[in-house]
């Protein structure tokens, strides 16, 4: 037995035994913290005797008083689950009263975990694995092949086609039903093939975590599998290592960790074992905790594991994915609305035809069959195929630009995007540090994009000396920098970029001793030997601390005494660089006596300041300008401090006046997002949960929201956004799995052409659907007018099917590949609530369909007057209607320009399709087997002339009406200022 529970997503697995129920709980698999929380809170419930969960199967067994019912127990589970998701439950009733890990001293943290600095005893490992489960993250909700296939049939137009096919079978039209179902199958095949191809391409980008985890167990160092780590294990943290679980630092020497994938902060964070005094400390400020998935970039240390698997911070972020769902796309909503309109139209038309037929004395069965034929005509068979094929072509065009689209409808949704949330680290920036500016001797040496221009490879002497000092006081490798901190790698790259041979420099000045930076000594000192016997001390660190060691300053090639005025200028320059969003380091040097055991802490020469930044990706500023021109509001979301975020926003010229910045404190203190007409430019110091809140708030304000990101911390927001855009190369697997679009080469500039292609696709779908609706309306009106005028049925069911499949679908598909018009990115996006057919478009649509029907009816009336109600009269009508519809495809290219206007780019596909359709129609009139199948007889030159007049007259009238409406609209538009 399996039944779905309420909104929480519970699934009843077994209820056969009275007083026992087993339910499947979403997110319980692999989630030890959730297991313990549910067991604890449910065991305290009056009716529950026992609650036990399984992190292996994701199910929860509840034994309860048989006087209670299953529904009551399920409600209790749902309430507990909702409280847990809201952060109101921990691992037990006393959870909130326990001191958090970051506030505990090292000895108390080890004691609580029943561990020690020498690690766990081997005999305790199995029990901990059984209790806490393997160190595996919750699986990322993905799309399997069956789900992708079933989704191809979940639209109202497809359901209408299947219903029309069923009715055709009931009335003996098996051939019609086969053709209609073939169209449905073709539509599903195109959509399935396109989406699975994109899904395979995205999965191919995944780089699964491999390798072992170095730990201390029983006092010995060993390497274990990632999934085998348990709470209490002592991790060895080395440069380049990926942290396997959340852990409390117990020892550190210069330990630096890059937490960008979790917090969004680009700069590495220094870690120490010292406890923090405050209990409530933001995630990014817990300096004695390391998190799963983060990377050790420098120094070394040890940390005791406090949480594994789904209990880790990253595990909980991925747990947010259970409740993060994207809304229906604008196209889905519009097609569903259109489907309902077509249902009413088809039903009303069928009822009218049936009633008119009975009043005219036709037999009930014949009348009913004609009504069903009209129902088939009223539902455009090409509608689902048109939308799917047009979207698939858009996907193919984007693939050429290395933009992978995972869902077809994402192409069209791009067209309606009004707000694009841009994650800063790794998206707007490279997520790697580089030197942006160097300040020496009162001068500033700027680097463009973190690199010196070719003409600046020979810098002034003081800049070169600064480069030498930061290259010497540096542990980054010369060739393989994988185990270097991001800061030291950037300093070494700066030295080499300005022409310093770092390898030779280090060979000539080998490191003899290193004094690492500490909480009390905010700088690092390296002592170097030299061939001439004179040793050198190099220092880098906090500008204020380094400046206090100095009594001289290097200006050009001279060492001059450092005055108070010089110190003030250095401090001002430090403030300027910091205000520009850069991390600032000071550097100094001094000669050291050969017999000195340690370098003195005074008498240094101040070499200068270096400002490091995570460089912006090339072209980001131009991209934001283009987005604003297209009516899209770019919003930067970052984990960085407000001042840093503001500096970067100013670099990008994000504010048209004063920057609107909202920080995490405002969000946490009940930030009001009821009115977001003025979208903020920046959200700073944002947590993963707040990213999700921001996206939902913008959506609640009526905006169609795109979200870009690359880290695990971005994945809930990526999934909840109308369009989630992930980085392909640098992005995490979690981000790629939930995103709608993946930038394969991490080129953010691909967004603008992707949005343009989305707008072109949306416009093409709209013009093609309007073409289908106008032509189908002409068929409905014709099928109503003729019986009402006592002229019988002007078209047979076979002829209607021929028109719908041969001369309707092909031109509509050709309209679906209309090249983008020149002004595509010069106007705001279409409103998502705007329907394909609304009040503004209903009138022109009715006029177009009515004129085509009038022309065909006139030709049919001529045929009936000359030949009576006969196959020959139907042939004249058939030829006139088909030709009129083909000509109408030219009218549908633009709602403002004439079909031959030079403002329209050439659509060679449409020209070829119209020519081919005319050939096919001619074959239907002259090829005997096909003519017999369609119930036609040959028509003469005079009949053909009348048919062409019946087609050309509506075409000319519709073109004239379109030009008149365009002139009236231009005349009523306000004059430009």
738-792 tens-digit pLDDT: 788 888 888 888 888 888 888 888 888 888 888 888 888 898 888 888 888 888 8
The rounded distance, in Å, linking the Cα atoms of 287 and 301 is: 13
pLDDT digits (tens, 9 = 90+) for 647-703: 888 888 887 667 888 877 776 665 655 555 678 888 887 776 678 888 888 888 888
- Residue 239's pLDDT is 74
CATH T-level assignment (fold) for domain 122-132+231-307 = 2.70.150
Instruction: Kindly give, in sequence order, each residue whose CB lies less than 8 Å from that of residue 509, ignoring residues fewer than 6 positions away.
Output: 472, 528, 529, 530, 536
**What is the residue whose two structure tokens read 């503004």?**
840
- Domain 3-96 fold: Alpha-Beta Plaits (3.30.70)
Give which of 747, 80, 58, 756 is closest to 402, Cα–Cα: 747
Mean pLDDT of the chain: 80
pLDDT at 855: 95
Task: Convert the pLDDT of each residue in 833-853 to its tens digit.
Answer: 666 666 677 788 889 999 999
Give the pLDDT of residue 90.
45
Residue 273 phi/psi, 5-degree rounding, is -85, -5
The model carries a pTM of 0.61
- Residue 363 pLDDT class (50, 70, 90 cuts): low
Q: Answer yes or no: same fold for 150-195+328-401+755-972 and 434-613.
A: no
Helix/strand/coil (H/E/C) assignment for every residue in 560-595: EECCHHHHHHHHHHHHHHHHCCCEEEEEEEEEECCC
User: Which residues have a Cβ under 8 Å from the Cβ of 329 and sit 6 or more positions away?
Assistant: 409, 410, 412, 413, 722
| pLDDT (average), residues 146-156 | 70
CB 292 within 8 A of CB 246: yes
Residues 382, 808: contact at Cβ < 8 Å? yes
| Between 863 and 11, the higher pLDDT residue | 863
Query: For residue range 438-488, what is the model confidence (pLDDT) as tens digits?
Result: 999 888 888 755 555 444 557 889 999 999 999 999 887 644 444 456 788
**Mutual angle of helices 751-788 and 364-378, in 10-degree steps:** 160
pLDDT digits (tens, 9 = 90+) for 697-753: 888 888 889 998 877 667 778 888 889 898 887 777 767 777 888 888 888 888 888
DSSP code string of 75-107: HHHHHHHHHHHTT---SSTTGGGSPPGGGS-HH
What sign does the CA torsion over 437, 440, 442, 443 have?
negative
- State the CATH class of domain 434-613: alpha beta
Residue 872 in tokens = 């020959």
Over residues 20-33, the mean pLDDT reads 77
Q: Report the percentage of the chain scoring pLDDT > 90.
A: 22
Query: What is the per-residue pLDDT across 157-186, written as a single tens digit (0 to 9) for each?
Result: 566 667 767 766 766 667 666 766 776 776
Q: Is 129 exposed, middle or buried (0-12, 13-18, 19+ CB in 10 A)?
A: middle
Can you give the pLDDT at residue 82? 73
Task: Give the domain 150-195+328-401+755-972 fold.
Answer: Calcium-transporting ATPase, transmembrane domain (1.20.1110)
How far is 618 from 616, CA to CA, in rounded Å? 6
Element spanning 712, H or E: none
In the prediction, which pLDDT does 448 show? 58
Measured distance CA(89)–CA(72) in Å, rounded = 20
Structure tokens at 781: 């009106």
Domain boundary assignment for the chain: 3-96, 122-132+231-307, 150-195+328-401+755-972, 403-430+617-754, 434-613
Top-ranked range on mean pLDDT: pick from 198-207, 272-281, 883-892: 883-892
- pLDDT tens string 312-325: 887 776 665 554 55
C-alpha 945: how far from chain center? 56
**Residue 217: predicted pLDDT:** 92
Q: What's the pLDDT at 97?
A: 46
* 829 within 8 A of 418, measured Cβ to Cβ: yes
Least confident piece of the model among 10-14, 34-38, 130-134, 138-142: 138-142
Residue 676 CA, chain-centre distance (Å), reads 21
Confidence band for 949, pLDDT divided at 50, 70 and 90: very high
d(Cα 477, Cα 760) in Å, to the nearest integer? 50
Residue 223 has pLDDT above 80, yes or no: yes
Within 8 A by CB and 6+ apart from 145, the residues are: 196
Q: In the predicted model, what is the mean pLDDT of residues 237-259?
A: 86
Structure confidence at residue 533 as a pLDDT band (50, 70, 90):
low
Query: pLDDT at position 481, please?
Result: 40
CATH 3.50.50.60 fits 403-430+617-754, yes or no: no
The catalytic residues are: 423
- Specify the pLDDT at position 372: 66
Instruction: For the chain, report the end-to-end CA distance as a whole number of angstroms.
Output: 69
H-only helix segments in 1-65: 32-43
Q: Residue 24 in contact with residue 49, Cβ under 8 Å? A: no
Non-local CB neighbours of 941 within 8 Å, separated by 6+ positions: none
Annotate 795-831 with DSSP letters as a single string: S-HHHHHHIIIIIIHHHHHHHTTPPPPTTTTSSPPPP
Q: For the chain, what is the total number of helices (H) and then of strands (E)?
A: 32, 29
Burial class from Cβ neighbours inside 10 Å (0-12, 13-18, 19+) for residue 404 reads buried
Does residue 942 have a pLDDT over 60? yes
- Residue 106 confidence (pLDDT) above 90: yes
CA-nearest of 205, 160, 201 to 184 is 160
Six-digit token string for 433: 């540090």
Location of structure tokens 């060895």: 236
pLDDT tens string 596-636: 767 788 899 999 999 988 878 888 888 898 898 888 999 99
């Amino acid at each position: 037995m399996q039944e779905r529970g309420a909104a929480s997503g519970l699934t009843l697995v077994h209820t056969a035994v009275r007083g026992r129920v087993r339910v499947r709980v979403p997110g319980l698999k692999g989630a030890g913290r959730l297991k313990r929380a549910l067991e604890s809170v449910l065991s305290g419930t009056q009716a529950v005797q026992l609650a036990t969960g399984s992190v292996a199967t994701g199910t929860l067994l509840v034994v309860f008083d048989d006087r209670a019912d299953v529904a009551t127990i399920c409600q209790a589970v749902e309430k507990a689950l909702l409280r847990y998701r809201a952060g109101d439950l921990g691992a037990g009733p006393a959870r909130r009263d326990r001191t958090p890990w970051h506030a505990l001293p090292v000895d108390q943290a080890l004691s609580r975990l029943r561990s020690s600095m020498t690690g766990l005893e081997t005999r305790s490992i199995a029990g901990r694995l059984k209790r806490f489960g393997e160190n595996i993250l919750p699986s990322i909700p993905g799309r399997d092949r069956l789900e992708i296939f079933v989704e191809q049939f979940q639209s109202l137009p497809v359901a209408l086609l299947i219903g029309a096919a069923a009715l055709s079978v009931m009335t003996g039209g098996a051939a019609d039903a086969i053709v209609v179902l073939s169209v449905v199958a073709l539509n599903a095949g195109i959509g399935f093939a396109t989406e699975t191809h994109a899904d395979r391409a995205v999965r191919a980008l995944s780089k699964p975590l491999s390798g072992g985890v170095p730990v201390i167990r029983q006092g010995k160092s060993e390497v274990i599998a990632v999934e085998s780590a348990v709470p209490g294990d002592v991790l060895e943290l080395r440069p380049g290592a990926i942290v396997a679980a959340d852990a409390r630092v117990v020892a550190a020497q210069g330990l630096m960790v890059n937490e960008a994938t979790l917090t969004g902060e680009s700069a590495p964070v220094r870690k120490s074992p010292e406890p923090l005094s405050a209990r409530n400390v933001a995630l990014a400020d817990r300096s004695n905790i390391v998190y799963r998935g983060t990377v050790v970039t420098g120094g070394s240390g040890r940390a005791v594991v406090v949480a594994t698997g789904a209990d880790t911070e990253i595990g909980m972020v991925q747990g947010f994915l259970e409740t993060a769902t994207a809304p229906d796309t604008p196209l889905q909503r519009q097609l569903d609305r259109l489907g309902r309109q077509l249902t009413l139209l088809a039903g009303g038309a069928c009822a009218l035809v049936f009633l008119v037929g009975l009043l005219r004395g036709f037999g009930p069965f014949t009348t009913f069959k004609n009504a069903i034929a009209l129902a088939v005509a009223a539902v455009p068979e090409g509608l689902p195929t048109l939308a799917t094929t047009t979207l698939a072509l858009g996907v193919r065009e984007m693939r050429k630009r290395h933009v992978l689209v995972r869902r077809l409808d994402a192409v069209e949704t791009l067209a309606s995007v009004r707000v694009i949330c841009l994650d800063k680290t790794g998206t707007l920036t490279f997520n790697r540090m580089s030197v942006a500016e160097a300040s020496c001797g009162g001068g500033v040496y700027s680097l463009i994009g973190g690199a010196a221009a070719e003409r600046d490879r020979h810098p002034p002497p003081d800049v070169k000396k600064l480069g030498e000092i930061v290259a010497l006081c540096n542990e980054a490798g010369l060739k393989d920098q994988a185990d270097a901190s991001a800061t030291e790698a950037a300093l070494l790259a700066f030295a080499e970029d300005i022409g310093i041979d770092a390898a030779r420099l280090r060979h000539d000045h080998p490191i003899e001793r290193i004094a690492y930076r500490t909480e009390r000594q905010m700088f690092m000192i390296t002592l170097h030997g030299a061939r001439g016997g004179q040793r050198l001390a190099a220092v880098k660190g906090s500008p204020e601390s380094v400046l206090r060691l100095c009594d001289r300053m290097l200006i050009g090639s001279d060492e001059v005494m450092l005055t108070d005025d010089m110190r003030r200028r250095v401090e001002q320059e430090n403030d300027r660089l910091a205000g520009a969003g850069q991390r600032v380091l000071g550097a100094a040097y001094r000669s050291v006596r050969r017999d000195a055991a340690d370098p003195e802490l005074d008498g240094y020469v101040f070499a200068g300041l270096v400002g490091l930044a995570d460089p912006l990706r090339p072209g980001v500023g131009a991209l934001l300008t283009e987005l604003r021109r297209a009516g899209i509001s770019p919003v930067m979301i970052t984990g960085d401090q407000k001042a840093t975020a503001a500096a970067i926003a100013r670099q990008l010229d994000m504010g048209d006046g004063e920057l609107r910045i909202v920080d995490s404190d405002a969000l946490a203190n009940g930030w009001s997002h009821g009115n977001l007409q003025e979208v903020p430019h920046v959200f700073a110091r944002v947590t993963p949960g707040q990213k999700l809140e921001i996206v939902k708030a913008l959506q609640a304000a009526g905006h169609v929201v795109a979200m870009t990101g690359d880290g695990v911390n971005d994945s809930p927001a990526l999934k909840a956004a109308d369009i989630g855009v992930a980085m392909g190369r640098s992005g995490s697997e979690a981000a790629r799995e939930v995103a709608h679009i993946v930038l394969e080469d991490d080129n953010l500039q691909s967004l603008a052409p992707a949005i343009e292609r989305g707008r072109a696709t949306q416009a093409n779908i709209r013009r093609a659907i309007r073409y289908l609706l106008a032509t189908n309306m002409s068929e409905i009106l014709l099928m109503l007018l003729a019986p009402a005028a006592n002229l019988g049925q002007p078209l047979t069911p076979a002829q209607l099917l021929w028109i719908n499949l041969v001369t309707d679908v092909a031109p509509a598909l050709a309209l679906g590949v209309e090249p983008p018009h020149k002004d595509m990115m010069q106007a705001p996006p279409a409103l998502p609530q705007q329907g394909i057919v609304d009040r503004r478009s209903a009138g022109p649509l009715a006029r177009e369909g009515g004129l085509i029907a009038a022309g065909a009816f006139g030709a049919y009336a001529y045929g009936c007057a000359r030949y009576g109600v006969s196959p020959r009269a139907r042939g004249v009508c058939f030829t006139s209607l088909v030709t009129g519809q083909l000509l109408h495809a030219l009218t549908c290219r633009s709602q403002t320009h004439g079909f031959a206007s030079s403002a329209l780019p050439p659509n060679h596909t449409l020209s070829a399709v119209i020519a081919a359709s005319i050939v096919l129609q001619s074959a239907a009139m002259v090829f005997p087997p096909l003519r017999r199948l369609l119930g036609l007889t040959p028509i003469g030159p005079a009949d053909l002339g009348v048919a062409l007049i019946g087609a050309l007259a509506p075409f000319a009238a519709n073109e004239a009406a379109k030009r008149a409406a365009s002139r009236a609209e231009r005349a009523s538009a306000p004059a430009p200022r």
